[in-house]
Chain A
Amino acid sequence: MGTISSAFSLISQALDADQSGLSIVANNVANASTTGYTEEKPNWQENQPIEVNGVSYGAGVTETGPTSVRDKVLEERLNQQQQLASASGSRLTALDTLQALFTPASGSSSSTAGNIGTDITSFFSSFSSLEANPTNNADRQAVLSAAKTLAGDVSNAAASLNSQKSALDQEAAAVPSQVNALTSSIAQLNLEILSQSPNTDAGTLEDQRQQDISQLSQLIGVNQVTTTNNGISITTTSGQLLASTGESVPLTTGTVDGVTHFFVGTTDVTSQLATGGGSLGGYLTARDQDIPSVLGSLDQLAYSVSTQVNKLNNAGTDLAGDNSNAGNIFSEPTQVAGSAAAMSVVMTDPDHIAAAGSGKGTGDNTNATAMATLASQTIVSGLTPINYYSNLVTTLGSTVSSVQTENTAQTASVTQLQTQNSALSGVNLNDEASAMTTLERSYQAASQVFTMLNTIMASALNLGEQATVA
């Protein structure tokens, strides 16, 4: 074999291999801006040497086809972080709307849900004015007017909360069609990959599948399981199969207790999807947890104020002389749930406000005093009405802040992983080592910054204390 002819043969094969390699490089360059494209590397394989009379002769090289430079571990981590960031992002958007509802109106005299705190104070203060002059019609009108403002703002807030819940429900209900299109595409791509390259990287097909999984991760929480023949099965985070090779199971919807629920087959997976991640997880958490929590608190406030005020009014004597039978100021709630939405003023004649104590003359103010004192009594779940409302707003603000923190951190994590992914889908060991070093350096430097800032902040607080003591 050691002839000029064999040497030409070797060179010819090497040129063919180079040509094939160049085609792959050209393809990389052509797709440099293609979304989701992963760079491909040529694979070189040494041809089997030929032995003649115990002497081994090299037989050149062959290019065996491209392999995509892909880090499945990194891609999966990226998808997981994307699921979390999407969930906190969509929840944060809903919470911001919720918080805006409870922000007091500024520069406008119109009453809004954000003025409930002021309304509570004004309502109980109106009894203090009535207390000074219990028969005065203007003061009586002022009580009814303050009651109407309070009831109107509370019921408007409840209506807005219910309306926001419906809007979130609609957004959530629109997600399954997108999910189903993606799972169907993944199932089909699995099938194509099985038939075309069951044992090696499927290049563009695999890119498409990864892109579908990435988009799916932004919608719902999923797990991906690598199966035989280069397949990937997609399940919900609670394990319900959504896509395998050639088969996808649709996510369907149905109405349960007035809201959209989600099913895989006959299994209701709504609560699992709420905690699973993706934008659907965020929508569902806001719809089923955040809004009901605020609405529940508002219901409790409306229920307690209405029942306590009505009870006291029916315990006194009104201007018409009705003793212990003056009637209700607010509509009497029968249960806590729904109290806020139904809160209204049913009293039309201000003379029926029982300012006088039971059995006392109409000029008496004992009952008006008792009504005014309700403001400082712990009549709503162990808190005064205004403290209970403040607590509601503070808790909401704290939740928003916490979710904001989560979202910022998760988005930063996604950015880091995308940076690493871009760096690593490069190419050689040196580049990889460099990307890794950057990550390690960043982490170490950031740890130092964090420790130092922590020390500074602790010192700042302590120094302040010492200065105060001195």
Chain B
Amino acid sequence: MQEMDESRVHPKLKDLVVEASRSLALLDADRLEELALSCRTLNRRLAPLDAEARAELKLEAAEAAGDMAVFGRVLEATRANLEVMRRLRRLRAGCLEYSERQVRGRGSAEGSHGDN
């Protein structure tokens, strides 16, 4: 088996964060789900790290702080966008289920029924 590039086997935190922001901007759900798995694995591997690796990770965390802030803002913007889309979808679904013609058609049928 060919040896993989070191940066691909052990990507830096900064690279992970930047990749996550980029993928979220492009709504690349598959890539984001892969990244979530990678992060879970990385998190599990934290405990047995030796002192040197811990110091290196600490440095990486400091380097990634700015990009993490960007990722946070993109996530925040996505949440707002998602809310807009959900409302829009509810609106559109409402229009489809209760279109003008259907409401007009039901008017006579429901006039004599219901609580009113």
* Chain A contacts to B: CB under 8 angstroms: 71, 73-74, 77, 81, 401, 405-406, 408-413, 415-417, 419-420, 429, 432, 436, 438-443, 445-450, 452-457, 459-461, 463-464, 467
Take A413-B78, A417-B81, A464-B54 as given contacts and tell me if A73 and B46 are in contact as well, using a CB distance cutoff of 8 Å: no
Q: Is the CB of A445 within 8 A of B82?
A: no
Q: Is the CB of B91 within 8 A of A409?
A: no
Stretch at the interface among B2-10, B61-69, B108-116: B61-69
Determine which of A81, A401, A419, A443 lies in contact with B82 in the assembled complex, contact meaning CB atoms within 8 Å.
A443
Q: Which residues of A contact B65 (CB under 8 A)?
A: 457
Take A405-B66, A457-B61, A464-B58 as given contacts and tell me if A445 and B29 are in contact as well, using a CB distance cutoff of 8 Å: yes
Q: Is the CB of B85 within 8 A of A436?
A: yes
14 contacts between A and B (CB under 8 A): A81-B77, A408-B73, A411-B25, A416-B78, A416-B81, A439-B85, A440-B82, A442-B28, A445-B33, A450-B72, A454-B68, A460-B13, A461-B58, A464-B55
Take A441-B33, A467-B55 as given contacts and tell me if A453 and B39 are in contact as well, using a CB distance cutoff of 8 Å: yes
A257 to chain B, nearest CB (A): 35
User: Which residue of A406, A411, A412, A429 has the most chain B CB atoms within 10 A of its CB atom?
Assistant: A412
Q: Is the CB of B39 within 8 A of A452?
A: yes
Task: Please tell me if B84 contacts chain A, counting CB pairs below 8 Å.
Answer: yes
Q: Which residues of B contact A446 (CB under 8 A)?
A: 20, 23-24, 32, 71, 74-75, 78
Task: Please tell me if B103 contacts chain A, counting CB pairs below 8 Å.
Answer: no
Q: Is the CB of B75 within 8 A of A447?
A: yes
CA distance A334 to B50 in the complex (A): 62
* Additional A-B contact list (10), CB under 8 Å, known A439-B27, A439-B81: A74-B88, A77-B81, A408-B21, A408-B73, A416-B78, A419-B26, A440-B82, A442-B32, A452-B36, A453-B13
| CB-nearest residue of chain B to A446 | B24
CA distance A401 to B73 in the complex (A): 13
Interface size on B, residues (CB 8 A): 57
CA distance A440 to B26 in the complex (A): 13
Task: Please tell me if B1 contacts chain A, counting CB pairs below 8 Å.
Answer: no
Chain A interface secondary structure, helix, strand, loop or mixed? helix
5 pairs of A and B residues whose beta carbons are closest in the complex: A409-B73, A464-B58, A412-B25, A413-B77, A445-B32
CA distance A215 to B27 in the complex (A): 24
* Chain B contacts to A: CB under 8 angstroms: 13, 16-17, 20-21, 23-29, 32-33, 35-36, 39-40, 42-43, 46, 49, 51, 54-55, 57-58, 60-62, 64-66, 68-82, 84-89, 91-92, 96
Q: Is the CB of B84 within 8 A of A73?
A: yes
Q: Is the CB of A439 within 8 A of B82?
A: yes
Q: Is the CB of A450 within 8 A of B20?
A: yes
CA distance A120 to B39 in the complex (A): 48
CA distance A455 to B54 in the complex (A): 14
B70 to chain A, nearest CB (A): 5
Q: Is the CB of A412 within 8 A of B74?
A: yes
Q: Which residues of A contact B66 (CB under 8 A)?
A: 401, 405
| CB-nearest residue of chain A to B46 | A459
Take A412-B25, A456-B61 as given contacts and tell me if A406 and B73 are in contact as well, using a CB distance cutoff of 8 Å: yes
Q: Which residues of A contact B85 (CB under 8 A)?
A: 74, 420, 436, 439
Q: Which residues of B contact A417 (CB under 8 A)?
A: 81
CA distance A454 to B25 in the complex (A): 19
